[in-house]
Chains A and B, each alone.
Chain A
Amino acid sequence: MDRNKIGKWLKQPAKMANKYSLNAVYFCTGCGIIEIPPVITARWDAERFGIIPVATPRQGNLFMITGYVSLKTLRAIIRTYEQMPDPKYTVGFGSCPINGGMYWDSYNTIKHLDRYIPVDGWIAGCMPRPEAVFIGVTHLWTLIEKDMANGYLRYREHYDQYRGNQEKLLGKLDWPPLYATGIAQKEIAA
């Protein structure tokens, strides 16, 4: 870490801490997971960037959606995402979560991930190389610093729409809403 940034550290310690200790949720959502083991092991060594995989979503703050998302996985992703504590950052990894990628006409994969959960950044490619992961992460640092990685705030703000989209696709969800929805939300805001 840069010593010259000590002033920054003192100003916003929480933000700097978030930035340099990204705990990635260990969830193999799609085929992009094949590039994660090289990234976190000796050769590419993601710990240089402060990324380390953690066992449970309750300890994580970085969620990498690695690859295409089928309907069954979407349900698991939403549950995992809602369990993570704030602030949390989501990165879509690979082309498929962006717009469906090569599965644009598949009946069982969703096409636009950002219509169901908020996404802070994308890493394009199939597969993205390990270098691309690191570039993505350093971009995420910039976003965090500028308060632009605010997916978790957007999720709270537009929870009505997100939950609506989720239920439109998956049917009635069998867990209670994370935030108050509908009229209750407006009352709280007022």
Chain B
Amino acid sequence: MNEGLKEKLEKAFPHAAITSMRDTDYVVTADKESVLSLLAYVKDAGFDHLTLISCVDWIDEGEFELVYILSPYMKDNEQISGNEKINLILKTRIARGNPAFQTVTHIFENAEPYERELHELFGVHFEGHKRLIPLFLERAYDIPPFRKDFDTRRYVKEVFDNIPAIQDIKA
């Protein structure tokens, strides 16, 4: 990629740490206040395709890590500029105790179901999201199931193994 973007990012966001892991993956670690402006900035800089929003539960550190992965669409319908192969991985950490973050749906419209999913599976609340209703799950779980302290094997033992087989009771 253009080294220009890295320099520009460093200049505009002095608190963001930028490392290039491999030649196609750029990792930007930012504090949670600057994420929204960073996202808006990189969107203008050409990374206009939000590929994925993910969340990692770092339980030992008591934090959730929100991960935004972006890549550029082609500027031109025909020509490939070479920037398209770059994945920009933007990470930020939020407290695990009462997890809440700003929604990014006003910047990237396709963030809506991703945030809904994270709300359901990790219990992260996204302020300003218009439709934080359940997406996948049928039952209510005490702990959102994708958190590390939710033990699915114990849960299966408690719930599914307690359903009795049908007894043939012919009197």
Tell me the A residues contacting B by CB distance below 8 Å.
70-72, 75, 100, 104-108, 110-112, 114-115, 118, 154, 158, 161-162, 165, 168-171
Contacts and interface: CB of A to CB of B under 8 A. Distances in A.
A111 B160 CA distance: 7
B11 interface: no
24 contacts: A72-B137, A100-B160, A104-B156, A106-B152, A107-B141, A107-B155, A107-B159, A108-B138, A108-B145, A111-B156, A112-B163, A114-B165, A114-B166, A115-B163, A115-B164, A154-B166, A158-B166, A158-B169, A161-B164, A165-B163, A165-B166, A168-B162, A168-B163, A169-B160
Contacts of B139: 71, 170-171
Interface of B: 136-139, 141, 145, 150, 152-153, 155-156, 159-169
A154 B159 CA distance: 24
Interface of B is mostly: loop
A61 B159 CA distance: 31
A104 B157 CA distance: 10
Contact of A161 (B137, B156, B160, B167): B167
Contacts of B166: 114-115, 118, 154, 158, 161-162, 165
Contacts of B156: 104-107, 111
A97 to B, nearest CB: 13
Contacts of A168: 162-163
B138 A75 contact: yes
